[in-house]
Amino acid sequence: MPVKVISTENKPIKLWLQDIDDAALEQAKNIANLPFAFRHVAIMPDAHVGFGMPIGGVLATHEAVVPNAVGVDIGCGMCALRTELPSLHKADLKVIHQRIKALIPVGFDHHETKQDENLMPEMDTGMKIVSQEYESALYQIGTLGGGNHFVEIQQGSDGHIWIMIHSGSRNIGYKVAEYYNQKAIELNQKYYSVIKKEWQLAFLPMNTDHFKNYLLEMQFCVDFALANRKLMMERVKQAFSETLGKISFDRFINIAHNYARWEHHFGHNVIVHRKGATSAKAGETGIIPGSQGTKSYIVEGLGNPESFQSCSHGAGRVFGRKEAQRQLSLKKEIENLDRQGILHSICDVEDLDEAPSAYKDIDLVMENQKDLVRILAELKPLAVLKG
């Protein structure tokens, strides 16, 4: 059951964590007071402040969709792949790590040539923003992006080397999110919505074309984000094969954590928004990453109805990006990672926003969601490529 329940708002707020920062709690109260919010709001144990809705928030709605409750990196998520390898020699790990760097553009970089169009999701007529961004997306598919996106090679407690990738829909997802959030703002202003503008929770009513088109274009971005991760995974497999010869891979897992979709909960069909939260239906395999200095987890969902069958998407941040750069010690963070023998991505102060100490204690996060998932395998980081 939730660690804490707040009952002061129009809908209860059920939290799977003891401590939540004031800004994120205020956002949770805002979504709990939306007139179309359904039953209660669920806040996952990795929750921290976002735009409009907390990262780690789950919101179910009646007949309305909120673009900012999905976020700008639509379809962002994780994929993981198990290799047949029981271990990796350090020398081979370094070669593979360097080869991945050469094969996968990171940050604002993209491919110099278009990638195979057959890798792209099918585009429907009426996709206004997707059609505008489609050509650019052909250069961006198979690229990592920046921020907390990563490629990681890991040692599994199941006796296998794993590959994990965290990335999203690149610029096309951002453009779709930006366009439809602006349309929602315009509609809400036109019809004098009771929702305060400063909440950043403008919505699209179900009886509008914008509602239908947003869900259509959003789903394309979810599918594109998966295609993006799949292509990067092929490039990582190439790096392994070029270094070690032919090896086998199995158990590909994919899970998104920024999207909205129709689901059935508590006897009603509702739109479940997950922003930095993942689906955890009974028996569903999921991925919960830690940081580049801590374990990640392959999990199985327990289908808890109180969380709308959801769980955390990671460890969650303790410090904002600029705050981490101000407060954390570059020397200590590097020493910590070097001591563990991890090929990491911390080189200068600007990298401290992705230091392990910028994130919550993953052990506590997992403890707080024992009723949401069970652990199938623990994955220890060996080498990390960050955007």
Within 10 Å of residue 14's Cβ, how many Cβ atoms? Answer: 23
What CATH superfamily classification does 4-318+359-386 receive?
tRNA-splicing ligase RtcB (3.90.1860.10)
Q: How far is CA 201 from the centre of its chain?
A: 20
What are the catalytic residues?
A: 313
User: Beta strands of 62-200 (E only): which ranges?
Assistant: 64-65, 77-83, 150-156, 161-167
Within 10 Å of residue 283's Cβ, how many Cβ atoms? Answer: 9
pLDDT at 263: 98
pLDDT at 1: 80
pLDDT at 251: 87
pLDDT at 125: 81
Q: Which residue has the tokens 């009426």?
A: 126
pLDDT at 192: 79
Q: State the pairing for strand pair 37-48/13-15.
A: parallel
pLDDT at 126: 82
pLDDT at 117: 96
CA distance 373 to 359: 20
Written as tens digits, the pLDDT of the chain (387 aa) is 889 999 999 999 999 999 899 999 999 999 999 999 999 999 999 999 999 999 999 999 999 999 999 999 999 999 999 999 999 999 999 999 999 999 999 999 999 999 999 999 999 888 999 999 999 999 999 999 999 999 999 999 999 999 999 999 999 999 999 999 999 999 999 987 889 999 999 999 999 999 999 999 999 999 999 999 999 999 999 999 999 999 999 989 999 999 999 999 999 999 999 999 999 999 999 999 999 999 999 999 999 999 999 999 999 999 999 999 999 999 999 999 999 999 999 999 999 999 999 999 999 999 999 999 999 999 999 999 997
CB contact at 8 A, 377 and 156: yes
Which of 122, 297, 299, 310 has the alpha carbon at shortest distance from 223?
Answer: 122
Residue 87 identity (one-letter amino acid): S
CA distance 221 to 266: 28
pLDDT at 164: 98
Structure tokens at 259: 């999207």
